[in-house]
Amino acid sequence: MYEVSRQLPDFPWDKLTSYADTARSHEGGIVDLSVGTPVDPTPTVVQAALIEAADSPGYPLTIGTREVRQAAIDWLARNHGVTSLTLDAVLPVIGSKELIASLPLHLGVGPGDLVVYPEFAYPTYEVSAALVGARGMASDSLTALGPAVPKILWINSPSNPTGKVLPPEHLKKVVEWCRERGTLLVSDECYIECAWDASPVSVLHPDICGDSYDGVLAVHSLSKRSNLAGYRCAFVAGDPRVIGELLAVRKNLGLQMPMPQQVAMVAALNDDEHAAAQAEVYAARRLKLRAAFEAAGFTIDHSEASLYLWATRGENCWDTVAWLAERGILAAPGDFYGVAGANHVRVAFTATDERVEAAVARLAVEVTSPTA
């Protein structure tokens, strides 16, 4: 019999099943604030572009069309001050998670190599290292690395799960540190347009990386900005040499974004109006949930950007998950994102307005109840 060897840890979300069942049993139904999946309609301009491109019989190119790469360049220049990218420095990918999970593999990272990611981190960074047998390390301190030289260093600003935004001076320091050691710096910027109390800066901005993109990549996604999670539209940009190596590998693996999605991606990147409108919707939901959680005794840390509140009641995160589930609210336990998150939960404000109002009402009962 073939022996299966497990390389990766268990999928963390499976641990939430029983709590989801508890929340679902609430008489008013579940309010799922655990996963940051968009629930609002995909913009009509994007849907129309997808429909128009539905007749697509030929194979798409792995590098993507000139139009989709130029749209990414123009968007970064227009909205984020990234002014000198060229077409060979951009590569569309089939969702940012696929790129993040496979990047060490595609760049030849392996056993004995070190991959560093944030102390509070999206689990896929760790998975990407485990997949190739590399050593993963969670650290926010460059000093703590000592003489160790990572092959890849991930940063994530705005952060998932905490919503923390790294200041420009810190980003510049990290770029310099990585360049001195020959470490590839990859910045996950998928929430860069979901900012409320801060102004995130791309690592590709000339004030951060200077007049060169050497050793620096940035990952961007349209899932949150444009409600395109179901389309799997993202791109990576930066050092043309690294982009070229990723392209060479992805050609061999047949990792090609479907042509209709590329056309839809162009429409989404070229239209800022829908993104601004969606941001206003999220801002309103965020304010309601933040006020309700704070009134119910929670402390909200960081959370100046992203689509989450990083909340704590000063207890183990699973006790908080259970407390919320009894009230029909499902949140993500903080230890999904590292041991340092053991006393927090991540609360997404991507539920519908109706579900957000339901959560607010249930938390308000706790405030007014003498037994709360």
Residue with the larger pLDDT of the pair 308 and 10? 308
End-to-end C-alpha distance for the chain, whole angstroms: 56
pLDDT beyond 70 at 354: yes
This prediction's pTM: 0.94
Whether domain 55-270 has CATH 3.40.640.10? yes
Domain ranges of the chain: 12-41+274-367, 55-270
Question: Once rounded to an integer, what is the mean pLDDT over residues 57-74?
Answer: 97
Q: What per-residue confidence (pLDDT) applies to 15?
A: 86
Four-way CATH pick for 12-41+274-367: 2.60.260.20, 3.90.1150.10, 1.20.950.20, 2.60.120.200: 3.90.1150.10
What percent of the chain is predicted at pLDDT more than 70?
95
Query: Residue 279 pLDDT > 70, yes or no?
Result: yes
178-220 pLDDT tens trace: 999 999 999 999 999 999 999 999 999 999 999 999 999 999 9
